[in-house]
Chain A
Amino acid sequence: MQHAIEAEGLVKRYGETRALDGVDLAVPQGRLLGVLGPNGAGKTTAVRILATLLRPDGGSAAVGGFDVAKDAHRVRSLIGLTGQYAAVDEMLTGVENLMMIGRLLGMSRPDSRRRAAELLERFDLSDAGGRAAKTYSGGMRRRLDLAASLVGRPQVLFLDEPTTGLDPRSRTELWSVVRGLMADGVTVLLTTQYLEEADQLADDIVVFDHGRVIASGTSDELKATTGAQVLEVRPLEAAHLDLVAQVVADVIGEAPDLTGGRATVSVHDPAAVPAVVRRLDDLGVVASELALRKSSLDEVFLAITGHRAEDEPSAEKEEALV
């Protein structure tokens, strides 16, 4: 079976650093692949190569059966790209932005105008269509950007961190748009730093770290790989957190993560939980929250890579604030 997106052993070097260090990808037609990884993991580099914007130093890739290096022009006629920055001309109106793309793709003026109106309607931008894009909010720009990548009805769509920097509401809106595209049978490759996003949208997920694919599978498969459940304990009094950490470390045999006023740790033996409760009770520590749950993608990522998926410096900043 032919895949809509295929990559084999992609390598891209920037001086000494290997942005991509032998990446294999295969996305069947009509599926959504979520590429998950922290900043600098090589996600954007991979997208740029697949979208013909960058030549790989090694390996090969094909989109819709066409080699991205040798048959770049044909690849371009199949794809749509929405990058990390809303790539719209701020001086043009929404309509003009979309019409420009339509005209470039060979549509007649009336056709491109019709297509622009159609997409603006679909993305809830009809009212703003006559305004310059510089007056748009961040969420509106992203929607216009996504609309621009759909003018040519692409069969394969690359979404590079489409929701980075969006507020939660705009993010959810964009998710529903992506789901709509999936219903149309479009193949999508979506990169994200947000585990929840991959969890929500992706059929399959690959995890990137340091230019390599370090894990792949469905969301459930990935969650199962750690084979663990997660214990979370939040003491009623924040001052007791160290005490909780000590108890958990004693009983489970592993130091818990202490983010957001909670002690979080992977548990392989559920029987350990009552022991934790007893010890805390003995010490007079009251827990305002105590839960045993399936591990999230976040923890899976932590388990696989040894570090968090979200930006590490900002996570530290958060901790410092708490």
Chain B
Amino acid sequence: MTTMTTAVPATARHVGPLTTLRQTMTLAWRSLVQVKHNPWELLDLSIQPIMFLLLFTYVFGGAISGSTGDYLQFALPGLLVQNALFYTLSTAIGLNTDITKGVFDRLRSLPIARTAPLSGRIIADTAKQVWAFALLVGFGMILGFRVETSVVGLLGALALLVVVALAMSWMSVLIGLKASSPEKVQMIAFSTMMPLTFTSSALVPSQTFPGWLEAWSDINPVTHLADAIRGLMIGGDVAQSAMISLLWAAGFAVVFAPLAIRAFRGRV
């Protein structure tokens, strides 16, 4: 039987970098084209922060900052951080859904670059991050939020959030590969991100916390990230908090990237 072997030589043993890139973009397209059928998906994921934005601004705003307008200025950058952190776990949810539905196996049985399913998803999720950022800022501005720095500051805030989100996506990949179901991922996301953002300076000034909580809040990476984003959008000291945020991000990547890659290899 020579027909089997003669049909094959055209196929290379491995995938070249250009082909890898093309496959990555195809898989990124796959995650993004869903938005076309379900444009509300992006809004779905932003509904919680928008709800928080409305609730916090109009219910607690006056009590916390004296006026709803002042509070909105303070809280919107924090809500952007909260939303970005929550959003990193959509990578985990998507990956885990692929695994439980068998799509992941289908992709792995194709002659494509091993990394493409992962990198394609992360690129798509980053694009969604940018969109969600724009959506929240836009909504905030309708309510009266004003960027007090400049467009550069605003873009800097976006860039910082994207970098941190990318670093966090390693953890997200690990969770996505290890969790038993997408619902579990959602639960993990909720029960870690919620306390983290609430015990930071993202939504309220931490000076009113009891001593022990304020001490924690000073360590909490979300505090530093929120301070940096706030500084970039409405002014204030940025350098230190941005630096600490980036260090945290690097730490996250250093710890979780090898673990995620190992888990991924185990699957491949």
A78, CB-defined interface residue at 8 Å: yes
Q: When the two chains form their complex, are residues B110 and A105 in contact, meaning their CB atoms are under 8 A apart?
A: yes
CB-CB under 8 A from A48, the residues of chain B are: 105
What mask results when residues 82 to 110 of chain B are scored 1 for a CB within 8 Å of chain A, else 0? 00000000000000000001110111111
CB distance from B103 to the nearest CB of A (A): 5
A to B CB contacts below 8 Å, 10 in the list:
A29-B3, A53-B108, A53-B109, A74-B111, A76-B111, A87-B105, A89-B34, A92-B33, A104-B112, A105-B112
Q: When the two chains form their complex, are residues A74 and B13 in contact, meaning their CB atoms are under 8 A apart?
A: yes
Q: When the two chains form their complex, are residues A104 and B27 in contact, meaning their CB atoms are under 8 A apart?
A: yes
Q: Which 9 A-B pairs have the closest CB atoms?
A: A87-B102, A77-B111, A91-B34, A76-B111, A87-B106, A85-B102, A81-B109, A77-B11, A103-B26
Interface size class on chain B is 20 to 34
A139, CB-defined interface residue at 8 Å: no
Q: At the interface, is chain B mostly helix, strand, loop or mixed? A: helix
B8, CB-defined interface residue at 8 Å: yes
B192, CB-defined interface residue at 8 Å: no
Summed over the interface, the residue pairs from A and B with CB atoms below 8 Å come to a total of 103
What mask results when residues 1 to 32 of chain B are scored 1 for a CB within 8 Å of chain A, else 0? 10111011001111100010011001101100
Q: At the interface, is chain A mostly helix, strand, loop or mixed? A: loop
Q: When the two chains form their complex, are residues A1 and B109 in contact, meaning their CB atoms are under 8 A apart?
A: no
Interface size class on chain A is 35 or more
Stretch at the interface among A93-101, A201-209, A310-318: A93-101
Return the contact of B11 from the options A74, A84, A93, A104 (Cβ within 8 A): A74
A64, CB-defined interface residue at 8 Å: yes
Return the contact of B37 from the options A52, A83, A88, A91 (Cβ within 8 A): A91
Given A71-B13, A81-B105, A93-B37, does the pair A155, B7 have CB atoms closer than 8 Å? yes
B38, CB-defined interface residue at 8 Å: yes
What mask results when residues 197 to 214 of chain B are scored 1 for a CB within 8 Å of chain A, else 0? 000000000000000000
Q: When the two chains form their complex, are residues B1 and A29 in contact, meaning their CB atoms are under 8 A apart?
A: yes
User: Given A52-B109, A89-B30, A104-B27, 12 more contacts at CB 8 Å?
Assistant: A1-B1, A2-B5, A73-B15, A73-B111, A77-B8, A80-B109, A84-B102, A87-B103, A91-B37, A92-B37, A100-B26, A105-B112
Return the contact of A104 from the options B4, B26, B105 (Cβ within 8 A): B26
What's the Cα separation between A266 and B152 when bound, in Å? 85
Closest B residue by C-beta to A81: B109
Given A64-B8, A92-B30, A100-B30, does the pair A85, B109 have CB atoms closer than 8 Å? no
CB-CB under 8 A from B29, the residues of chain A are: 100
Which B residues contact A (CB, under 8 angstroms)?
1, 3-5, 7-8, 11-15, 19, 22-23, 26-27, 29-30, 33-34, 37-38, 101-103, 105-112, 116
What's the Cα separation between A148 and B30 when bound, in Å? 15
Closest B residue by C-beta to A1: B1
Given A92-B34, A104-B27, does the pair A73, B1 have CB atoms closer than 8 Å? no
Which A residues, 94 to 118, have Cβ-Cβ distances below 8 Å to chain B?
Answer: 96, 100-101, 103-106
CB-CB under 8 A from A77, the residues of chain B are: 8, 11, 111
A10, CB-defined interface residue at 8 Å: no
Q: When the two chains form their complex, are residues A53 and B102 in contact, meaning their CB atoms are under 8 A apart?
A: no
Q: When the two chains form their complex, are residues A89 and B109 in contact, meaning their CB atoms are under 8 A apart?
A: no
Return the contact of B5 from the options A64, A101, A148 (Cβ within 8 A): A64
Q: When the two chains form their complex, are residues B4 and A155 in contact, meaning their CB atoms are under 8 A apart?
A: yes
A86, CB-defined interface residue at 8 Å: yes
What's the Cα separation between A118 and B141 when bound, in Å? 49
Given A2-B4, A84-B102, A132-B37, does the pair A76, B109 have CB atoms closer than 8 Å? yes
What's the Cα separation between A91 and B37 when bound, in Å? 8
CB-CB under 8 A from A92, the residues of chain B are: 30, 33-34, 37
What's the Cα separation between A245 and B29 when bound, in Å? 64
CB distance from A33 to the nearest CB of B (A): 16
Interface centre among B101, B107, B111, B112 (most CB of A within 10 A): B111
CB-CB under 8 A from B3, the residues of chain A are: 29
Q: When the two chains form their complex, are residues B106 and A148 in contact, meaning their CB atoms are under 8 A apart?
A: yes
